[in-house]
Structure 1
Amino acid sequence: MPPTPTGQPTPTGQPTPTGPTAPAAPEVFEPARLGPLTLRNRTIKAATFEGMTRGALVSDDLVEFHRRHAAGGVGMTTVAYCAVQPEGRTERNQIWMRPEAVPGLRRLADAVHAEGAAVSAQIGHAGPVANGRSNRLPSLAPVAMFNPQSLRMTRRATVADIERITAAHATAARLAIEAGFDAVEIHLGHHYFASSFLSPRLNRRRDGFGGSLANRAKVARAVARAVRDEVGDRIAVLAKLNMDDGVPGGLWLDESVQVARWLERDGSVDALELTAGSSLLNPMYLFRGDAPVREFAAAFPPPQRLGVRLAGGRFLRAYPYREAFLLESARQFRAALDLPLVLLGGITERATMDRAMAEGFAFVAMARALLREPDLIDRIRAEPATRSLCVHCNKCMPTIFRGTHCVLA
């Protein structure tokens, strides 16, 4: 991004800091601290389910997927998604954290480290987003509700379920350490288990886990606390937090900012990655760009294919894509917190990375652009004017059923 005259509006409309004490913005390609870690730069490969874990274990393809991103220059790559319990998978071939998964995860971590990058495991419980039909286990939610993806009812989570799932996050983090991982990212977004409790749309409980925001935030805070108590400062702990759910009656910015303040005060996380949307009710709110209804329909067997074609447009709503599309909301968190923040959503250019650094974000996270070009980070570092080839068609999304990839690459 070209220099901006001191005190004049930036291209995003935010004033540039003035005066001799204004801190210099960090350089995105310089080493940076993340909790106990030092990353080689401030770029993170965001979690995107890879669809390469048949048998709920690491495959050679998964190792190569993350090795390729590490070789392409990211500071850290994120393995997605590592369920903390078997019923917490969105489908039965996802990894769930157990001793049998550790050798494969260790092999993946070694491959990433050999390329000079760090590796993080996204851990969580899918809650109402879990596919009970695929898992052959009941999905869990704050209250019993219909899951349109599995066409089954979820089961109301008991207090014992909540305690079990909270403890399982700590176990998953310990297993990540055993596998040589450098960080874990706790999934608190997209209407997964903890996020569904945060959402007033989904959480209609009348016990100590429902009603007030303080009650609805108990699961998220307890999970983060359990992980921190388990790992101490041996690895970095991030959390992926919804800024808003993108659905009427869902979690909105004002409440989410307060949850972020509580997490900061608790001292349980080293950074927050800011996200939005609902995998259950409105997934395109996070992705933006074209809605690949036809491609999703083709991924299903004939009985469901027609239904997806006819009704998919109501579930996969298209939102216009623009660079840094979550930045405006994320600024409210940056203004309210001292905690390091990871900016996600439409980060494809060096100018956007520099803008994020100038506005006080500690890291930037990328997903679709790196599916198109795993070496994009190295190319941007070598030539700052490099433009991403990603056209935001989102046709990569349905490929999760057969190995996530860019269909245009």
Structure 2
Amino acid sequence: MKWEKLFEPIQLRRLTLPNRVMMGSMHLGMEGSKDQEDALISFYTERSGDNGPGLIVTGGISVSPEGDGGHHFLGFYREDDLRVMKRLTDSVHEANGRIAAQLFHAGRYAYSQMNGVPSVAPSPIKSPIHREVPEELTEIDILNLLESYAEAGRKAKAVGFDAVEIMGSEGYLINQFLSPRTNKRSDKWGGNFDNRTRFAIEVLKSVRNAVGDDYPIIFRMSGLDLVPDSSTPEETIQLAKKLEEHEADILNIGIGWHESTVPTISMMVPRAGFIEPALKIKESVNIPVIGSNRINDPLLAEELLYKLDMVSMARPFLADANLLAKAKGQALDQINTCIACNQACLDHAFEGKAVSCLVNPRAGREHKWTIKKADKTKTVVVIGGGVAGMEAARSHAELGHTVTLYEANEAIGGQFNLARKIPIKKEFDETIRYYKTELNRLGVQINVNHKPNADELLAHSPDLVVLATGVVPRLPVIPGIKHAIPYPEILSGNGEVGKKVIIIGAGGIGCDVSHFLIEKGIHDILLLRRNGKMGEGLGKTTKWAMLQDLKQNGVTFRTNLSYEEITPEGLKITNSETGKQEFLEADTIILAAGQESNIPEEYEDLSQKGIDIAVIGGARLAGELDAKRAIYEGAKIAFEPETISVQ
């Protein structure tokens, strides 16, 4: 692959960027915590350097106390945070990287209980995803805020940031001023388009006056709000022109508000599925424009750069800190691609946890999980080639250990080989590709279609045996269970399915099977569970979109019931609330009622022979399938061998 655009330099005032990729802003959940300070700095530093993104943008750094988005935010108004920022910029620069500070104010998305001060907004209108009504900003408040932005810009420059990005999208404060949905003011800061844009322009002017003519300012503007009664496409273009007129150096185009009911960043969204607004803005201005959202592949980035000036790739650098280095070295198969699962990144952020990555659990742990050859090499045997076993094999081999992997089936991949059959989870193909490439590169001996006995394992003289033997479907005790089909048979294409389907189990697997059937043209699907909610166990940031899609496709759900009998014609149930029995007709009944750990008995005595045993993934703890935990455990036993039991 010949790169024509990706590694072309671009100049932003005094700053030269060596390539056209920005690592977009991500809140890491480490900010503002002394315990996480080294982790924060190590995270950004590892992604810096000659083969890193042309520019890194930090997570939002608050310009004033009421602007924090919740716990774990840095603030320009705190002296100790400025010390952390100076440590950060020094470390990034020592690695030959470049980093910009995002000037942030949450507006009505702020949490007054966390921040200790009331949230504020252009108008006192509550967000549908928040409980509290914000206080309306007065004229004096607004003028003070403009000075806060200016002071934040001055401090960002003073502590060594190479540029600033003004956060004006995603429904935060500046975006709230711009939108008629949230700005109902009748003074000069609201009403018509010019008045609604006034705050954004005055923020830009204030920051420009503070940082000077030689300092780059990125303005992150919303290309598409995806909420009703908001800014029009015509207004968005006019705003871009105004920002150009008032000396923004480059426009970074964001998509969607946090309260939007349109999914924008989950794996069900096509790659670069929302690039059109950035292309429209690019046609209308002369300054550079950055495209974003679901760009996770350097080849796609190269293609887009024929129409745009830069691309923003945020979570892809969580998945692989060396993404661009691998692209430059023509090692595309070695890239650990972001699958947009959200489980360890956005879900963690919204839960107040430190961000990591499902496919790269080392993200956020770089300061303690260092990649260096082990002082003493081990012989490691891994039983099971699902994601837990593949990661255990990969991590140990990366640290210099000799690794053999056994898989009882014809191919490695485990439950991911089933999951990637589901239309919205095609990105899982990338994870399987990555592991196959890495295990081969690192010299792991892979044996498929083979389940070794204890004597074969002992013949390796192993220092460590990793049991990653996974799970088997749980078969609930229901009369007539033989008339139902376990979900693996359906996903593997071995089970015939009629037009009217009942799925026993409405957790993540039941929902996945529903999506699989919908793609096959089957829409008469009833999901059942004894008690609880549909989709329970799915991540917060993806659950709503998945369930919304199922309901739009006619899938129904019932709970609070007991299963009495399965027959060839359907299922007899009892309503737990009324005690009334019902018969539900169905052509096919599918079992998706959880899993049980699969630990072959012949391996249980190995520890008595002086061999360290680690049980990880589904073999250690079944329940709903949890790839995040499985991959984490596979890495942890390599990087923290003192915790072999994996708690």
Q: What is the Cα deviation at residue 31 of structure 1? A: 2.4
Q: What is the Cα deviation at residue 285 of structure 1? A: 4.1
| Residue 143 (structure 1) aligned to one of 117, 123, 141 | 123
Match of 1:376 in 2: 323
Match of 1:231 in 2: 211
Match of 1:247 in 2: 227
| Residue 398 (structure 1) aligned to one of 347, 351, 356 | 347
Q: What is the Cα deviation at residue 235 of structure 1? A: 2.4
**Higher RCO, 1 or 2 (CA under 8 Å, sep at least 6)?**
1
Q: Deviations over 1:133-160 (max 9, x none)?
A: 2112111111112245552211011111
Does residue 329 in structure 1 map to residue 277 in structure 2? yes
Taking a change above 3 Å as real, the CA distance of residues 366 and 33 of structure 1, as seen in their structure-2 partners, is same
8 Å CA contact 1:146–1:154 kept in 2: the answer is yes
Q: Deviations over 1:54-109 (max 9, x none)?
A: 35998111111111211461111111110100100111431110233222111101
Match of 2:64 in 1: 85
8 Å CA contact 2:13–2:214 kept in 1: the answer is no
| Residue 185 (structure 2) aligned to one of 202, 205, 216 | 205
8 Å CA contact 2:185–2:191 kept in 1: the answer is yes
| Residue 166 (structure 1) aligned to one of 141, 146, 151 | 146
Q: What is the Cα deviation at residue 350 of structure 1? A: 2.5
Which has the greater radius of gyration? Answer: 2
Match of 2:99 in 1: 119
Taking a change above 3 Å as real, the CA distance of residues 233 and 90 of structure 1, as seen in their structure-2 partners, is same
Question: What is the alpha-carbon distance in structure 2 between the residues aligned to residue 173 and residue 58 of structure 1?
Answer: 25
Question: What is the alpha-carbon distance in structure 1 between the residues aligned to residue 35 and residue 173 of structure 2?
Answer: 22
- Name the TM-score, length of structure 2 as normaliser: 0.53
Match of 1:181 in 2: 161
Amino acid at match of 2:311: V
8 Å CA contact 2:226–2:262 kept in 1: the answer is no
> How many residues are paired up?
354
Amino acid at match of 1:31: P
**RMSD in angstroms over aligned alpha carbons?**
2.0
Residues 325-334 or 82-91, more deviating: 325-334
Question: What is the alpha-carbon distance in structure 2 between the residues aligned to residue 263 and residue 92 of structure 1?
Answer: 31
Question: What is the alpha-carbon distance in structure 2 between the residues aligned to residue 50 and residue 108 of structure 1?
Answer: 14
Does residue 61 in structure 1 map to residue 39 in structure 2? yes
Match of 1:14 in 2: none
8 Å CA contact 1:124–1:186 kept in 2: the answer is yes
Q: SS of 1:358's equivalent?
A: coil
Q: What is the Cα deviation at residue 388 of structure 1? A: 4.9
Q: SS of 2:25's equivalent?
A: coil
8 Å CA contact 2:165–2:217 kept in 1: the answer is yes
Amino acid at match of 2:185: R
Question: What is the alpha-carbon distance in structure 2 between the residues aligned to residue 356 and residue 167 of structure 1?
Answer: 37
Match of 2:592 in 1: none
Match of 1:347 in 2: 295
Question: What is the alpha-carbon distance in structure 1 between the residues aligned to residue 240 and residue 36 of structure 2?
Answer: 32
Question: What is the alpha-carbon distance in structure 1 between the residues aligned to residue 36 and residue 214 of structure 2?
Answer: 23
Q: Deviations over 1:118-143 (max 9, x none)?
A: 00000121111111121121111111
| Residue 90 (structure 2) aligned to one of 88, 99, 110 | 110
Amino acid at match of 1:51: G
| Residue 260 (structure 2) aligned to one of 263, 282, 303 | 282
Q: SS of 1:44's equivalent?
A: strand
8 Å CA contact 1:59–1:104 kept in 2: the answer is yes
Question: What is the alpha-carbon distance in structure 2 between the residues aligned to residue 215 and residue 35 of structure 1?
Answer: 29
Q: Deviations over 1:228-269 (max 9, x none)?
A: 1111134211010001211111123221110010111122x1
Taking a change above 3 Å as real, the CA distance of residues 338 and 40 of structure 1, as seen in their structure-2 partners, is same
Match of 2:485 in 1: none
Runs of 4+ in 1 over 3 A off after TM superposition: 54-58, 147-150, 283-286, 384-388
- Name the TM-score, length of structure 1 as normaliser: 0.82
Match of 2:594 in 1: none
Does residue 365 in structure 1 map to residue 312 in structure 2? yes
Question: What is the alpha-carbon distance in structure 2 between the residues aligned to residue 148 and residue 350 of structure 1?
Answer: 37
Question: What is the alpha-carbon distance in structure 1 between the residues aligned to residue 73 and residue 129 of structure 2?
Answer: 16
Q: SS of 2:167's equivalent?
A: strand
Amino acid at match of 1:271: I
Question: What is the alpha-carbon distance in structure 2 between the residues aligned to residue 90 and residue 271 of structure 1?
Answer: 25
Question: What is the alpha-carbon distance in structure 2 between the residues aligned to residue 197 and residue 57 of structure 1?
Answer: 36
Residues 25-40 of structure 1 aligned to structure 2 (within 5 Å): 27-40=5-18
Listed as ranges, the gaps of 5+ residues in structure 1 are: 3-24, 290-319
Match of 1:70 in 2: 48
Q: What is the Cα deviation at residue 286 of structure 1? A: 3.8
Q: Deviations over 1:144-193 (max 9, x none)?
A: 12245552211011111111111111100111111111000000111111
Residues 230-239 or 169-178, more deviating: 230-239
8 Å CA contact 1:35–1:237 kept in 2: the answer is no
Match of 2:359 in 1: 408
Q: SS of 2:48's equivalent?
A: helix
8 Å CA contact 2:298–2:324 kept in 1: the answer is no
Question: What is the alpha-carbon distance in structure 2 between the residues aligned to residue 194 and residue 112 of structure 1?
Answer: 29
Listed as ranges, the gaps of 5+ residues in structure 2 are: 361-647
Structure number with the higher strand fraction is 2
8 Å CA contact 1:125–1:165 kept in 2: the answer is no
Percent identity over the alignment is 28
Question: What is the alpha-carbon distance in structure 2 between the residues aligned to residue 331 and residue 56 of structure 1?
Answer: 42
